Structure 1
């Protein structure tokens, strides 16, 4: 289980790595800086499609040879899961968690079926071409199950997230403590993904990061302690 969770943590690094570029584009294009709307919207497009980006990145990260076919399977899995669950219950919003789940399943299916050989009359669909097909079939079943399972889970996640947000400095302290505690085993990225992209809601935006960019005055407290250190800690150490 620890190895599996560590693989998730490592896989999350690929989609997370694109966030600095997206944030720079979004900020530089604002009215009080360069005032170039198309640059701001270019960065905003990445944040609007984070769940899809996570589905691709996690699928590629989970595949044993980081093949793009796994990424395609991740996209297909995410689209099937999203539309399937919402057809059952339109209030379901799995967000980034849906992307991560789709990526994990697609990556595991890629590792299992990327070398499969079908009968000659189906030979065109052998190997890596079979992966998106079997992913779509599996995700239909997953979407049906999650259409009924996910609503109470979603309520529980929202409740936990809202408690952490309402706790203010205490909630930030708990998050920071768990973040440092999980670093040695590489699981802090799993926790970060929940806090940055899932917990809390403001005008349709979820997570501390998205809510901050959406203008939520209460967002940003879970990121504020990290970025000064990440941006200036290493240069300061080098200067010292």
Structure 2
């Protein structure tokens, strides 16, 4: 079993490239935001009362359609990032990297869901219990604090998708040229990338529930400190 080494990049170059990968989902997010804003505002009761002509059924159908289409980017934002990051960072076989990004993110949330179920946190409909454990639906799977995407209760934040995208990119760069023994040759090369991504992200998903609550509390505590700083708060200083 052999792999082809890839040129190393500096940390600064990595963050530059990572920032560029955000442009693809951000551009779509901006467009969808405009669609959602126009559709929602022009279909609101107050606007129709002010401009009765907008109450036309055909116009309202168009505005509702715009709202539905515009909501896509906000509903699937984590998925967009987990696909766009490996797509933008990969030097070769970008399509494989993007596909593996989605696989890795979905498997990670399934693993988190497994942990929540094993700990007895799921299944439950108690809102207090779900909130205490940062449980949301992601890709249709109950998981921990990364948003409600395709329905998986998981962990509700874009950070989870970014982490998944970066890890999958690293796996892609390491294994997309791998050569397996003849008996397993079918699974070699680019086919191996989504396979190893599923395994690795499945293990990462078991670690996240142990680490994320502490990390989330740290962010919450930092926000509380900044908010309670009064006039000395960085957010209240004049620029």
Are 1:44 and 2:54 an aligned pair? no
The answer (yes or no) to whether the contact 1:23–1:43 under 8 Å persists in 2 is yes
Question: Considering only CA atoms, is the larger Rg found in Structure 1 or Structure 2?
Answer: 2
Aligned with residue 3 of structure 1, among 6, 13, 27: 13
Aligned with residue 28 of structure 1, among 34, 38, 48: 38
Structure-2 separation of matches of 1:76 and 1:99: 11
The answer (yes or no) to whether the contact 1:24–1:43 under 8 Å persists in 2 is yes
In structure 2, the residue matched to 1:143 is 205
Secondary structure of the residue aligned to 1:7 is helix
Secondary structure of the residue aligned to 2:42 is coil
Unaligned segments of structure 1, at least 5 residues: 178-240
> What is the CA-CA distance between 1:168 and the residue it aligns to?
9.3
> What is the CA-CA distance between 1:45 and the residue it aligns to?
1.8
Structure-1 separation of matches of 2:91 and 2:223: 33
Unaligned segments of structure 2, at least 5 residues: 1-10, 44-58, 117-132, 135-143, 147-156
Structure-2 separation of matches of 1:166 and 1:37: 42
* RMSD, aligned CA: 2.7
The answer (yes or no) to whether the contact 1:82–1:98 under 8 Å persists in 2 is no
> What is the CA-CA distance between 1:171 and the residue it aligns to?
5.0
Q: What TM-score do you get using the length of structure 2 for normalisation?
A: 0.65
Are 1:98 and 2:160 an aligned pair? yes
Corresponding pairs, count: 176
The answer (yes or no) to whether the contact 1:11–1:57 under 8 Å persists in 2 is yes
